Amino acid sequence: VDWLTLTIDAPTTGQMSYTIISSNGRTLANADISSNQTAIDMSQLSPAIYMLKVTNGNTAVRTFKIVKK
């Protein structure tokens, strides 16, 4: 998977952002979420397991496990 689509089911994205974290805890990418659907480029990442953490301000909203093959 080279592109991942993050869909937010909320009326507003406010100060939401995402962070991609490697299995060893290193932050690889982060960006603001500006709309209900955000395309995330994963093409530069090697096949591995990653965590996608979605936050609203300083509050964690949800964390997803992403397996790139």
**pTM of whole model > 0.95?**
no
CA atoms of 27 and 23, how far apart (whole Å): 10
Q: Tell me, what's the pLDDT at 1?
A: 61
Question: Rounded to the nearest 5°, which phi and psi values hold at 58?
Answer: -100, 5
For residue range 51-65, list pLDDT tens digits in order.
999 999 999 999 999
- What is the per-residue burial (b if ≥16 Cβ within 10 Å, else e) of 4-34? bebebeeeebeebbbbbbeeeeeeeeeeebe
**Per-residue pLDDT at 64:** 97
- Write out pLDDT tens, residues 2-23: 999 999 887 776 799 999 999 9
